[in-house]
Amino acid sequence: MLVKEKKVKKDSEIVKIAIAEGDGIGPEIMKATLKVLKAAGARIETESMALGEQVYLAGNSAGIEKNAWEVISRNKVILKAPITTPQGNGYKSLNVTLRKSLGLFANIRPVTALHPYVKTNFPQMDVVIVRENEEDLYAGIEHQQTEDVVQCLKLITRPGCEKIVRYAFEYAKVYGRKKVTCMVKDNIMKLTDGLFHNVFKEISQEYPEIKSESQIIDIGSAKLAANPENYDVIVTTNLYGDIISDIAAEIGGSVGMAGSANIGANVAMFEAIHGSAPDITGQKIANPSGLLNAAIMMLAHIGQSEIADNIKNAWLSTLEAGYHTADIYQKEVSVKKTTTDEFANEIIARLGNKPKKLSVSEMSKGSGTIQIPEYKRKVTKKELVGVDVFLDWQGSDPQWIGGELEKIKTHNLKLKMITNRGVKVFPDGLEETYCTDHWRCRFVALEAKIKRKIPVYQTIEFEHIMALLSNLNQKGFNVIKTENLYEFDGKRGFSLGQGE
């Protein structure tokens, strides 16, 4: 896989772009953005497609129709204005669908302070959040299986971790960033977040010129909120990234001004981070900066970094000159409250200018191209050593259910422990532990040595699990789910119960 991000100038190349005008202020800011791009000589050819509110309301619950998928397939690069998801149940998040269906594994959110034109407590802030975009809890796999308990699966994958962590380091290298910070919660989630952190440590070795550091997400979020200027590039999983990229945008003051990129192996999508703002739709006062910044990231991505720099510097110069849309108008620093179109014209008038106070954009001075190798799956020896069987049982005495389960005679399996919400309640639980109707019962091989400080498991066959399930069912236990227990190259691939 080669992520199509080039620094080489190819004058002749016209890049095809799929355009989604969006809803609300979308068409207004798209028009202004494309006007600026055209004036700056962006070598792009656009094709429009319909996404969003009208498609939803026409009865398509995903908000996107087949012909839009075809436009995306033809163009590969998408510039997308904000869309409106209608109120009510059954409408699916179009952004989630696009990100996941198109394999847009990386969400990139730069936040740079624009003080004093946009006020912030942190005028030195200049951080880029690289968020994993496809997996984690956002896989949305949820099951209610007892009256009390609902479950969502958090899925973290090695290919997902490798791609996003490498993207972060490649991004840092190509754009001249100095440090990448990893934020996860692997002190609690040792296998899932532990995998992300381990991959981070592995890949960071290949980039000795870039500083790397790791923080626990709770402390990291707090330190980001208090001292964002201490961060450069941050890489994290989907949910954490969602939270911290909103924090960064909010404290940097840039919610209405920032763009973001969603990068995949073959397709990339660029958009403003703000919404469709139906309250000011049609008034011609919307600030096009968010979408314009997305377009600037897009131009850099498709190898037109010099044009991207030119537009960015003209935009920064316009802010400095005091031509501001209503949302950022301040008496002290503004000279004129502009319409959307006037703002675009002021930017166009400043093409070729560079800002004097704000940092000059120099994306075209970077070197190298972002490259992400294909994931290579390792070959490991995987052995089945047990099963967690989850029961729906409305009783409350772990001793009783533990005793009953110990009595069950099945081919080759014995009960090791029972947990309730992760806490061991059998054997040797505490009476203070509150128990729901959701009991996780761990069975391992009869000959497994489980009394040792570090237990030694033994291989079992899937047929043994089948026999156990059948036996449990016959005895009236309500089996609601199973999780097999595996060792990989002899290493335990499952967590212990709390108190185990």
Nearest distance from residue 295's CB to a second copy, in Å? 23
Taking the C-alpha atoms of residue 47 and residue 44, their distance in angstroms, rounded to an integer, is 10
434 binds a second copy (CB under 8 A): yes
408 binds a second copy (CB under 8 A): no
CB atoms within 10 A of CB 3: 22
Query: Looking at 50, 333, 423, 450, which residue binds a second copy (CB under 8 A)?
Result: 423
Find the binding residues for a second copy in span 223-242 (CB under 8 A). Answer: 223, 225-226, 239-240, 242
Buried b or exposed e, range 46-85, using 16+ CB within 10 angstroms: beebbbbbebbeeeeebbbeeebeebbeebbbbbbbbbbb
Nearest distance from residue 275's CB to a second copy, in Å? 11
Query: Looking at 38, 380, 397, 399, which residue binds a second copy (CB under 8 A)?
Result: 380
Binding mask 65-104 for a second copy (x = CB under 8 A): ----x----------------------xx--xx--xxxx-
**97/339 with CB nearer a second copy:** 97
250 binds a second copy (CB under 8 A): yes
Query: Looking at 5, 28, 309, 437, which residue binds a second copy (CB under 8 A)?
Result: 437
485 binds a second copy (CB under 8 A): yes
Query: Looking at 110, 259, 264, 398, which residue binds a second copy (CB under 8 A)?
Result: 264
Query: Looking at 140, 282, 352, 368, which residue binds a second copy (CB under 8 A)?
Result: 140
Query: Looking at 188, 335, 446, 456, which residue binds a second copy (CB under 8 A)?
Result: 188
The pair of three-digit structure tokens given for residue 343, joined into one six-digit string: 């703002």
**281/484 with CB nearer a second copy:** 484
**187/371 with CB nearer a second copy:** 187
Nearest distance from residue 12's CB to a second copy, in Å? 27
Q: Which stretch binds a second copy (CB under 8 A): 106-114, 282-290, 335-343, 491-499?
A: 491-499
**28/242 with CB nearer a second copy:** 242
Compute the Cα dihedral for 130, 133, 137, 138 and give only its sign.
positive
Taking the C-alpha atoms of residue 238 and residue 98, their distance in angstroms, rounded to an integer, is 15
Nearest distance from residue 450's CB to a second copy, in Å? 15
Strands (E), 382-434: 382-392, 413-420, 423-426
Find the binding residues for a second copy in span 339-378 (CB under 8 A). Answer: 377-378
Cis amide prior to 373 (ω within 30 degrees): no
Nearest distance from residue 153's CB to a second copy, in Å? 6
416 binds a second copy (CB under 8 A): no
Q: How far is CA 237 from CA 160, 293, 344, 433, 469, in A?
A: 9, 24, 36, 32, 35
397 binds a second copy (CB under 8 A): no
DSSP state of 2: -
**400/462 with CB nearer a second copy:** 462
Largest CA distance in the chain: 84
C-alpha torsion angle, residues 66, 140, 222, 121 (rounded to 10): 20
Q: Which stretch binds a second copy (CB under 8 A): 25-33, 201-209, 333-341, 432-440?
A: 432-440
419 binds a second copy (CB under 8 A): yes
**352/422 with CB nearer a second copy:** 422
CB atoms within 10 A of CB 479: 16
Taking the C-alpha atoms of residue 68 and residue 50, their distance in angstroms, rounded to an integer, is 6
**37/235 with CB nearer a second copy:** 235
267 binds a second copy (CB under 8 A): yes
Taking the C-alpha atoms of residue 495 and residue 167, their distance in angstroms, rounded to an integer, is 29
- Nearest Cα to 500, choosing from 433, 419, 437? 419
CB atoms within 10 A of CB 394: 10
198 binds a second copy (CB under 8 A): no
* Number of residues that make up the chain: 500
Nearest distance from residue 78's CB to a second copy, in Å? 12
Find the binding residues for a second copy in span 97-136 (CB under 8 A). Answer: 97, 100-103, 105, 121, 134-135
Taking the C-alpha atoms of residue 143 and residue 81, their distance in angstroms, rounded to an integer, is 34
DSSP assignment of 55-81: HHHTT-TTSB-HHHHHHHHHH-EEEE-
Query: Looking at 2, 57, 58, 150, which residue binds a second copy (CB under 8 A)?
Result: 150
Query: Looking at 141, 335, 360, 446, which residue binds a second copy (CB under 8 A)?
Result: 141
185 binds a second copy (CB under 8 A): yes
Give the containing element (helix H, strand E) for 249. Answer: helix 238-252
Q: How far is CA 53 from CA 11, 58, 69, in A?
A: 37, 8, 16
* Number of residues in contact with a second copy under rule CB under 8 A: 107
499 binds a second copy (CB under 8 A): yes
Find the binding residues for a second copy in span 17-56 (CB under 8 A). Answer: none
Nearest distance from residue 42's CB to a second copy, in Å? 25
16 binds a second copy (CB under 8 A): no
Taking the C-alpha atoms of residue 337 and residue 40, their distance in angstroms, rounded to an integer, is 23
